[in-house]
């Protein structure tokens, strides 16, 4: 049975994996942190409004506190001055958490190869999804969000929760990939 597969019987019983349930719950209830850095933030606000309706994807509850957020959408130009603040907000968000770099500025510095602009927010926080464009339209942000949800569905939270102590998510996934490769080779 594939990890993501849900088997449903006619008697109303379903069988699936704990990983699937965790991942499905997490990807269906993302709470973005409320902040924007520049023009891309206007597109992010439009994505949350009625025309595009981010709530359809379970990610429309923008939180006013990093302690209640699990998704950071970096929408705008991250300047060197803002860098420590972005990092502090990220550090205050509880695990598990994810990051989307929205637009050219957040991804690479965009049209600002200057002394004052961070050349990509991934220099200070780990980015899961990069969205190109200057600015990206709301459809692009929705697409990026769906790709992040796909990524979340590939995670293995049970490896992290049960019996692995301080093993990180990345280490657990690396171990799994290695085991799969060995199984394929055999
Ligand atoms: S990518 Fe373009 S629209 Fe977005 S913040 Fe930078 S300059 Fe503004």
- CB of 144 closer than 6 angstroms to any ligand 1 atom: no
Q: How many helices (H) and strands (E) does the chain have?
A: 7, 5
**DSSP per-residue letters across 49-108:** STTT-GGGGT----BSSGGG-SEEEEES--BTTTHHHHHHHHHHSPSS-EEEEEHHHHHH
pLDDT in tens, 19-69: 999 999 999 999 999 889 999 999 999 999 989 999 999 998 999 999 999
**Residue of 46, 78, 104 best suited for mutating to test ligand 1, as the one with most atoms within 8 Å of CB:** 104
Question: What confidence score (pLDDT) does residue 162 get?
Answer: 73
Ligand 1: centre distance to CA 103 (Å): 6
- CB of 109 closer than 6 angstroms to any ligand 1 atom: no
- CB of 82 closer than 6 angstroms to any ligand 1 atom: no
pLDDT over 80 (residue 106): yes
Which residue, among 3, 56, 51, has the nearest Cα to 29 in the 3D structure?
56
**Mean pLDDT of all residues in the chain?**
87
- CB of 104 closer than 6 angstroms to any ligand 1 atom: yes
**Residue of 36, 40, 136 best suited for mutating to test ligand 1, as the one with most atoms within 8 Å of CB:** 40
Mean pLDDT, residues 3-14 taken together:
71
pLDDT in tens, 40-52: 999 999 999 989 9
**Helix (H) / strand (E) containing 159:** helix 157-161
pTM of the predicted model, to two decimals? Answer: 0.83
pLDDT over 80 (residue 180): no
Question: What confidence score (pLDDT) does residue 1 get?
Answer: 44
pLDDT in tens, 137-162: 999 999 999 999 999 999 988 887 77
């Amino acid at each position: 049975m594939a990890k993501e597969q849900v088997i449903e019987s006619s008697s109303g019983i379903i069988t699936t994996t704990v990983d699937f349930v965790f991942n499905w719950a997490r990807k269906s209830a993302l709470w973005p942190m409320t902040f924007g850095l520049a023009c891309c933030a206007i597109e992010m606000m439009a994505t949350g409004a009625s025309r595009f309706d981010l709530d359809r994807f379970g990610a429309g509850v923008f939180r006013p506190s990093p302690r209640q957020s699990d998704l950071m959408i970096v929408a705008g130009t991250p300047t060197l001055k803002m860098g420590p603040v972005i990092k502090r907000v990220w550090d205050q968000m509880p695990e598990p958490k994810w990051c989307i770099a929205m637009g050219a500025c957040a991804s690479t510095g965009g049209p600002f190869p200057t002394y004052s602009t961070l050349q990509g927010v991934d220099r200070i926080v780990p980015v899961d999804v990069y969205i190109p464009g200057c600015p990206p339209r709301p459809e692009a942000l929705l697409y990026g969000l769906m790709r992040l949800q796909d990524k979340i569905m590939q995670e293995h939270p049970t490896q992290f929760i049960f019996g692995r102590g301080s093993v990180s998510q990345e280490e657990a996934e690396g171990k799994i990939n290695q085991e799969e490769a060995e199984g394929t080779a055999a």
